[in-house]
Every structure is written in C-alpha cells, then in structure tokens.
Structure 1
Amino acid sequence: MYNPEIETATHSEMESLQLTRLQQTVKRVFENVPFYQEKFKELGITPEDIKSLEDVNKLPFTKKKDLRDNYPFGLFAVPMEEVTRIHGSSGTSGKPTVVGYTANDTKTWAKIVARALVTAGGRSSDIFHNAYGYGLFTGGLGLHYGAEEMGAATVPISGGNTERQITLINDFKPRGISGTPSYILNIVEKMEQMGMDPRETSIEYGIFGAEPWSEEMRATLESKLNLKAVDIYGLSELMGPGIAIECHEAQDGLHIADDHFLVEVLDPETLEPVEDGQDGELVFTSLTKEALPVLRYRTGDIASITREKCKCGRTTTRMSRIKGRTDDMIIIRGVNVFPSEIEHELLKIEGVIPNYQIHLIKKGSLDSVELHVELDPKLHHEVGQDLSDKKIVQLKRFIQHQMKSACLVTMDVIVHGLGGLPRSDGKATRIVDKRKSDPVNV
C-alpha cells in the first residue's frame, strides 16, 4: 500500500478526519467565494452549522453549469497569484469548465494519483507508458505527476502517433500503461495489423478510464494484452484522475480517496440519500482543494457504494463501476437505456470488434436508434466487401434480436467493414445525435 495508515483506517477514524476537513472547506468557500456566500445566504446557513458529516445535506449543490456561469475564475477561493496551474474541459459544447490549482493542490494531486497507481499494481521500479492526452484535459498530466511521485520512469507519449507508441512499447518495455480503453484497443489493432502479438509485450497492468467501458471491454483488453485492466475515476471539477481506482487484487469496486473526497449517493430525482449498495447519482465534496474547493458536486454519474472491507485489506469506501450518466441516458419511445448497456450486450457477440457508434435519428416524428458496428478481421476476410453476404444478414438479425431482448429497444443495425468506423486518439465518440438539423456528438 502507498499509505497504509489512511487506506486501512477505521470508519470512525476516517469520519473524524473527513469532518475536520469538511469544516475547513466550508469555512474557506464561505469566506472567499461569492457564489457560495450567496448560496449560504439563500439557505440560511453558516459554517458553524456543520457539526457532523450528516450536516453535509445542509450545504448547497454545485453543478457543471455553475462553473460555466462563473467562467473563468469566479469560483476560485484564492487570488490568482496563488494559482500555479489551470486545467479545463474540452469546451466542445460551449466555454470550458475551468479549474485551478495551487502549488499545494498539485502536490496533493500527485500523491493521490501515486496512491491510485500503487493500488492498481504499480511499483516505483516501473516504466510507465502514459497514453492519456496532455493539455487542458487533466488525464495526461494527472497520471504523469502521479507516476513520477510513485517513483516510476514516466513516458509522456500522450495520445496519437500509434506506430511510434508501439515502437516505444517494444523498445522501452513498460510494465504499466494508461489511456482511454478505446485508444488502447486502437494500439492493439495496429499491432495485429503489423503482424505482432500484443500479448507478448512487457505490460502487466493497464489503467483505463475517461470514457465508459464495460466488463466485456475489460475482458477484451485483458485477453488481447495479457494484462490486468483496472478502472480509474476522476473529474476535473474536483481534481482530475485519482478520485477512485480499482485494486489489482480484487477488481471489485473503485477505492475512493476518502481523506480527500466525501461521497454521497443520492436519488437523482428526489436528491435524497439511497442505501449503500443501491444505485444513485454520485455527489462529491472536495476536502483538501485550495484553489477550487467544491461543495456537493453533482457528477451525473450513476453508481453505488459499499463500505465493507475489501479483500485487498483496504477499508476505504468503494464505488461500483459507473452504470451510466443521467445526461447520456437514451430514451426511445419511453424506454430508458444507457450506452454502457448496449456495449455490454454487443461485445458478447462474435463477428464484431469493440468499435461501435449509436446514432440517434428521427423516423417521421419518432426517435429511433441506428447501431453501427464493425466486423472483426476474420469475418471481414471471409466476406470481403460484400456486406450483403448471407453471414452479414444473419449477424445483423442476431444483433437486433439481442438488443431488443436485453435493452428492450428496436435498433437498425448498420454493418461496416474492418476500419469502416472512425478511430480516436482520446475519448471515443459513441453517441451521434442526428435528431437535430445540426448533429451533435455526445
């Protein structure tokens, strides 16, 4: 373990630490952030009203919209001369959400990520291949400084330039790798096209996140690369990657850094707490952030938590893998389905690879779904360019049947030859909404 005293603390010990840090954070935002000052006034509360962890429910929620409304630096709790780094979202749907860090914030973040890497199986003696994108996105630099803090020799390759990635993997022989699962699969695909066996690399563990991925995707990654694939969770609004990560021993829920983040799971409709083990919306409060402390941030991510001790020995709260997002749920003719559920079923089917897109379209006045899939190399070789082949017709019908049975949604299945769907060097575009006159990629 990276920090056994914290990672095996009793619940009462952790709750005492969390309460102290929660009270400090509440005082910080009340004294320094006009947005929260106004919210406290509206609710009729002061920092002195937070006497227990349960009192967190007295505090105001924060949403992504609040960061955008206060763009760029309106939620910062320190003067700009104390800010040493700025990150933000990609801003593809408008102005980015901007987050700031003091020097102490970046040091804290590095230690949080180092702890996460050790939890995933990392060692100080590792060479670590970091294929997350560097830039405003927190993934690249977040993993980079965490790996350095752990003591690893870190390769800042970023995303893209896939053949060069493969050259460095072969020559440097890293033990660990990180990136989006869709891009790592692109690397695997390129290796196979070059006549290489991805299972023969030196990589033993992979840390994957920044996009939804299913247990079937995990099985594919582990089989293709002969490694242990672990899920990492992070939000730039709170810090970046490292908020939670799976342990390599159990891969049974993501260990939350409880000493830095207080988690709640709420019914997204009523905003009331749900029982441990029940799905709800994850809501986080940062406990140690200086530049941008955030109260009760509504993530939109659906998951559950457990406080039971893990078989790895850690006692930290564990969150399930993300089941979906409140804002990416597809509602088709009254039926709700998450893209992750579609992936879960699709990747069980032989004949297609884990590269797909869900197109939302209009048929007359009704919403409909087109599921675009790509043939695996074996079937592509058998049928060539003849996508009207009997095998393809049967495959389409089978996929339609499975999706209807499992997801309760009728989908038009569009089959593409190998390489027929776009690849990404970062987050894959899984949902394409064509229901508007100007299509929006989700």
Structure 2
Amino acid sequence: MPPHYDALETRDPEAREQDLFTRLPTVLRAAMQAPAYAERLKGVDPGEIIDRAALARLPVLRKSELPSLHKASPPFGGFVAQPPGTFARLFTSPGPIFEPETNQYDPWRGARALYASGFRRDDIVLNTFSYHLTPGGFIFDASARALGCAVIPAGPGNTEAQFELIEAYRPVGYSGTPDFLKILLDAAQNAGRDVSSIKRALVSGAAFPPSLQAEIKARGIDAYQAFGTADLGIVAFETSAREGMVVNEDLIVEIVRPGTGDPVAEGDVGEIVVTSLEPEHPWIRLALGDLTAALPGISRCGRTNMRIKGWMGRADQTTKIKGMFVRPEQVAEIGKRHPELGRLRLVVSRAGEADAMTLRAECAAAGAALQTELAATLRSVTKLGGNVELVAEGSLPNDGKVIADER
C-alpha cells in the first residue's frame, strides 16, 4: 500500500499555500452569505484576502463566544447561511454549541488521520467515541467508512458487550480516548477475554502521556494521536515520524498570541486559529482556545504540510484578581503600547492574605523610567496596581502563557 493517503499530502508547500489562498476568497464570499459573518467582515473585499498577512487582519471568532452567540441566534449564531434541514446530522456540545454535519465526502476530514495511523480499506474498527448527541462518534465513524473500513459503533462503556463484539468480529483497529483503551485492555485481562485482534489505534479527546503510550505499545498496539474539535473535525494528526502532528489538508492554521489575532514569531507557543475551506459551513479564523507551536521543516514521513507540537494547554488564561477579571488580551494591549518589550507574563500570587500581581517584561535596556511607565500602563489597562519586573530578553519561557496564576 502507498505510504500516503494521496498526492496532496506530499505536494510542494508553496503549491499548497497558493492553492489554499486561491480558494479562500470564494470561501469568504460563501461565509458572508450568513448574517453574522456579513456583519463581522463588513467592508472586507474577499478578493484581497490572498495571503496570510491579509488573513491576519480579519477578526478572530473565539470558540468561547459561541455558546452565547448560538443562544442569541439559534441554532448556529448566524454563522451558517443554509437552513438546518439541508445538513446530514445536527449535534450539540457542552455550552451548548450546535454543530451541523455537512453532506460532503469525509465531512470531518479524518480518513487521512486513520490512514497515517496504519488503518486500511476492509479493516474492522471498534469505535468507542460517544454517538449520543455529540459528534465525536460520528467523526471517527464517517472517517473510517470514507477510508473503506467497517465500523463497530460501540460507544464508550459496557465492557462486557465490547468483549463479545471484539471476539466475534476481531477488529484490528480502535478509535476512542486513550483512557478507555486502557480500561478495556485492563478489564479484558482481568476477565480472561481475548482482545488481541486490536493492533492499532487512533486516540483523541484526552491526554496521552508517554507513560501510557509505552504501556499501550507494550500490549502490542500501535497507537497514534489526533487533535480535533467538534466544530472542525480532525485538525492535525500524528504520523509514523512521531514528530508532532501534521496539519490536515484544506485547513489554514495560524498560531497567534493569546488574546489577540496577531501571529506569533516562528516557533513561539500561541493559540490555534483555524480557517476551513468548506463552502457549506466555513469557519473564518476560529480561535480554539488551545495552545501549540509550529515545528520547523518537513516531516520525515514525507508529508509536507505544517506541523504542530500538539496540544500544549489552554490559551484562555483569564483570572480574577481582587475581584476583577484580568484577560490575556489586556496583557497583549500592554505589549502594543510598549513595542520595545519582548515576551510579557503577568504573575498572580498572594501577599499575606491579599491578591498581588507582578508584570514580568523582557527588554533589552532596563531602566527606572521604563519600569515606572509600565506600572502606569498596567494600572491603566487592568484598573489594578501591580509590580513590574524587567528581565533579560529570552528569559521568559516560550510556553504561550501570558497570565500565570500561582495562588
């Protein structure tokens, strides 16, 4: 079997970039047929959004905003032009956030991820993601069937029934959370049931630490990770290179400074922002609230798309200090007012029995005047007083964290 799903995965990166941004104006025009996008993108000429610099000037749509937007204008917050009845399935996620499944082939873009994990046509896959109201089960079900696999729609739990299915159908693949895979393997071992047919897995939805990876591998299962959301499907996936995750085709992924829409410097940790080229239900600069960083170069597996390190925490670091919320975008505003600074980090702590905060700022030339100016800016932006500590350039961690709550 060929090592890659199709030729798109190995094309020249510049050709991919040109293809994405050639198609983007058409997608933007489709998006602006929906009232919420029409309002957000008012005055935007889609024909001018032909590169990353132009895209970065468009406003981000934060996933954290969606529950209130969907409630104000049900079901999709005005971001979908088509009536709900024209979609294949209609789901909900906690929030609530309402998600439609399009009528496209492989609507959640997961077949590539399964292929990269070793799944092939005619494989039988035990799918243990939930099929109830949320899209998780259907994301992996549709992706496996698009690849030509047969799917056991098992869902989570009920291990006794799962053992009967496994012993009868002998699935070679597993899709689900890594936690439930361990539960299933442990329960089978304790009950003396045979689940040895499972040789590979695509896991998502929970942390997969190195210790658990080693344990699953020791049990004879080659497991890979995928990063996805209920809105977009599979955004990026692990490959045989085991070097981060390769971004899926037909998506434009940006990494921005938390609280802003501004792209970070190459290699810096920031928030994942995704634009999807799906005319039925496009997402334009959807900020997921998750942190990652881009990896340099091309994967050893031969796939040429952008690579990310994977999930590195949450970007929404909003915290309450002395009864007032302080948000990452406020820290970003301080940086904009003082462009001579490098990375910023607001450290929240306790001094005695009271909240305290210290703004740590990288700068090339420290001085009392700058420290005084920064303290005034900190108070102006946050409405709270705090200390300022000037530190050497490159001394703050590259982890995407702009607010560190150490209380």
Q: What TM-score results when the alignment is normalised by the length of structure 1?
A: 0.67
SS in 2 for 1:58: coil
Task: Verify: 1:274 aligned to 2:264, yes or no.
Answer: yes
Deviation at 1:365, TM superposition (A): 6.8
Tell me whether 323-332 or 9-18 shows the greater mean CA deviation.
Answer: 323-332
- Seen in structure 2, the aligned counterparts of structure 1 residues 65 and 270 have a Cα distance that, compared at 3 Å, is closer
Deviation at 1:175, TM superposition (A): 1.1
In structure 2, what is the equivalent of residue 19 of structure 1?
21
Q: CA RMSD in A?
A: 2.7
SS in 2 for 1:233: strand
Aligned residue identity for 2:243: D
- Seen in structure 2, the aligned counterparts of structure 1 residues 168 and 58 have a Cα distance that, compared at 3 Å, is same
1:82 equivalent among 86, 94, 117: 86
In structure 2, what is the equivalent of residue 232 of structure 1?
226
Once residues 68 and 318 of structure 2 are traced to their aligned partners in structure 1, the CA distance between those partners, rounded to angstroms, is 25
Deviations 1:152-193, CA, capped at 9 Å, x for gaps = 121111111112212222332211101111111111221232
Calculate percent identity across the aligned residue pairs: 31
In structure 1, what is the equivalent of residue 58 of structure 2?
59
In structure 1, what is the equivalent of residue 292 of structure 2?
303
- Seen in structure 2, the aligned counterparts of structure 1 residues 45 and 325 have a Cα distance that, compared at 3 Å, is same
Aligned residue identity for 2:86: E
Task: Verify: 1:312 aligned to 2:301, yes or no.
Answer: yes
Aligned residue identity for 2:110: V
After the TM superposition, which residues 366-405 of structure 1 pair with which residues of structure 2 at under 5 Å, given as runs? none
- Seen in structure 2, the aligned counterparts of structure 1 residues 5 and 263 have a Cα distance that, compared at 3 Å, is same
- Seen in structure 2, the aligned counterparts of structure 1 residues 130 and 256 have a Cα distance that, compared at 3 Å, is same
Once residues 34 and 161 of structure 1 are traced to their aligned partners in structure 2, the CA distance between those partners, rounded to angstroms, is 44
**Unpaired runs of 5+ in structure 1?**
333-363, 368-434, 436-442
In structure 2, what is the equivalent of residue 243 of structure 1?
235
The structure where helix makes up a greater share of residues is 1
Task: Verify: 1:68 aligned to 2:38, yes or no.
Answer: no
Aligned residue identity for 1:88: T
Once residues 190 and 3 of structure 1 are traced to their aligned partners in structure 2, the CA distance between those partners, rounded to angstroms, is 34
**Unpaired runs of 5+ in structure 2?**
322-351, 356-406
Once residues 147 and 113 of structure 1 are traced to their aligned partners in structure 2, the CA distance between those partners, rounded to angstroms, is 7
Once residues 295 and 224 of structure 2 are traced to their aligned partners in structure 1, the CA distance between those partners, rounded to angstroms, is 18
Deviation at 1:202, TM superposition (A): 1.6
SS in 1 for 2:88: strand
In structure 2, what is the equivalent of residue 33 of structure 1?
34
Once residues 147 and 213 of structure 1 are traced to their aligned partners in structure 2, the CA distance between those partners, rounded to angstroms, is 21
Once residues 227 and 29 of structure 1 are traced to their aligned partners in structure 2, the CA distance between those partners, rounded to angstroms, is 42
In structure 2, what is the equivalent of residue 211 of structure 1?
206
In structure 1, what is the equivalent of residue 273 of structure 2?
283
In structure 1, what is the equivalent of residue 99 of structure 2?
99
Deviation at 1:102, TM superposition (A): 3.2
In structure 1, what is the equivalent of residue 344 of structure 2?
none
Give the length in aligned residue pairs.
320
Deviations 1:190-247, CA, capped at 9 Å, x for gaps = 123214586xx12111111112332222222222x31111101111122x2x221111
Deviation at 1:20, TM superposition (A): 2.0
Deviation at 1:271, TM superposition (A): 3.9
Deviations 1:328-381, CA, capped at 9 Å, x for gaps = 89999xxxxxxxxxxxxxxxxxxxxxxxxxxxxxxx9799xxxxxxxxxxxxxx
